[in-house]
Structure 1
Amino acid sequence: MTPKEAMLLPDDGSQYERVDGIYLVTPLPTLLHQVAAAELSYVLRRNCPPEYWVIQAPMDYRPTSTRSLQPDVLVASRNDPGPDALRLPLLLAVEILSPATRSKDLVLKRSLYEEAGVASYWIFDPDAEILTVLELADGRYVERVVVKGDDAFDAQLPFPVRVVPSELLRRTSHPRG
């Protein structure tokens, strides 16, 4: 969505995304949703190579001129042209499930990210402490792994990082340094 279009939308705290001329409106995220997104961003940033950015929503990703998406967490190349939106295929898009976004994230956004060539798509269900990892293979997402609770996922894409679903909700503070 263009900056001009964004200025016409109400400043009500809702998330506005556009898919082929249709606006998708999502209410404010829950506390659990925000904690999970912040913790996952922290884990990714700690391990992120300098040629990438880890960004937490809101950040506009425009894979086409008619689509404006806002993953909860994303990893993008620092070579993306920006500055108002990311345009290159993302290395990682993450959606945190909530009752208001579940079907959109599991069906619509999965399809849109796949079509846009997003290399890896992670779906985290904070209520069940389940992380589902999808990766592109021959232009289609394949389920790489589903990890639950205290089980660890050692990702290679977009870069090596260990993610433990239960830790995304239990950790309350980080050491400085």
Structure 2
Amino acid sequence: MISQQPAETPRDGRRYEIVAGRLLTTGAQPPAHHAAVVGLMVHLKTSCPPDLMVAVGSLAFRPTPTTTLRPDLIVCPRGYTGVHPPLLAVEVVSPSTRTTDVVLKRALYETHHIPSYWLLDPTHQELTILTLTPTGYTCQSVLQCEETFHTTHPFPITLTPSQLLA
């Protein structure tokens, strides 16, 4: 069964997550945030192999009984249950989420062994690609505007921030 947002959580445009038993609420995001999520989702779906899926905000990662994380976008195996780490977690950075995404989420995703973590900043047309190593996340690339990067994880794909945000 796919992990869905609990029925008792309001459907009010906010994102509800639990970190070490404490509720973390993110307010409704601006249109640029949603456009960036959709742009990246479309780009990823065109290269996604059939045994994987790209999901936007609808799936939770529950690494412990007191932690439920809901990335803006994930890539995971079909049949994902939310217990094991997704292959990729992506957060779209906005002014209201910058510290949470860059500091807190990075530490949580690293601690819970998510192999790849991307930060997409639509304001600066910047994509940061982090890869998990035995010592923690290593920055593979920070792409700006028209710069291009080819990665093989979670599957082969070429990325250019301006194309993702067009």
Question: Is TM (by shorter chain) over 0.5?
Answer: yes
Residue 87 (structure 1) shift: 1.5
Residue 58 (structure 1) shift: 2.9
Secondary structure, aligned partner of 1:29: coil
Paired position in structure 1 for 2:60: 60
> Is residue 2:77 matched to residue 1:72?
no
Paired position in structure 2 for 1:110: 106
> Which residue of the other structure, out of 96, 99, 102, is the alignment partner of 1:100?
96
In the alignment, structure 2 segments of 5+ residues that lack a partner are none
> Is residue 2:85 matched to residue 1:89?
yes
Cα displacement string for residues 112-141 of structure 1 (whole angstroms, at most 9, x for unaligned residues) = 100111000000110000100000110510
User: What TM-score does the superposition give when structure 1 sets the normalisation length?
Assistant: 0.87
Paired position in structure 2 for 1:11: 11
Whole-Å separation in 2 of the counterparts to 1:100 and 1:160: 32
> Is residue 2:125 matched to residue 1:138?
no
Larger radius of gyration: 1
User: What TM-score does the superposition give when structure 2 sets the normalisation length?
Assistant: 0.93
Whole-Å separation in 1 of the counterparts to 2:25 and 2:58: 13
Whole-Å separation in 1 of the counterparts to 2:18 and 2:146: 36
Whole-Å separation in 1 of the counterparts to 2:9 and 2:114: 27
Secondary structure, aligned partner of 2:124: coil
Paired position in structure 2 for 1:175: none
Superposed, 1:146-161 pairs within 5 Å as: 146-161=142-157
Contact 1:150 1:166 survives alignment (8 Å) = yes
- Percent of paired sites with the same residue: 38
Counterpart of 1:52 in structure 2: which amino acid? Answer: L
Whole-Å separation in 1 of the counterparts to 2:116 and 2:145: 21
- Equivalent pairs, count: 164
Paired position in structure 2 for 1:27: 27
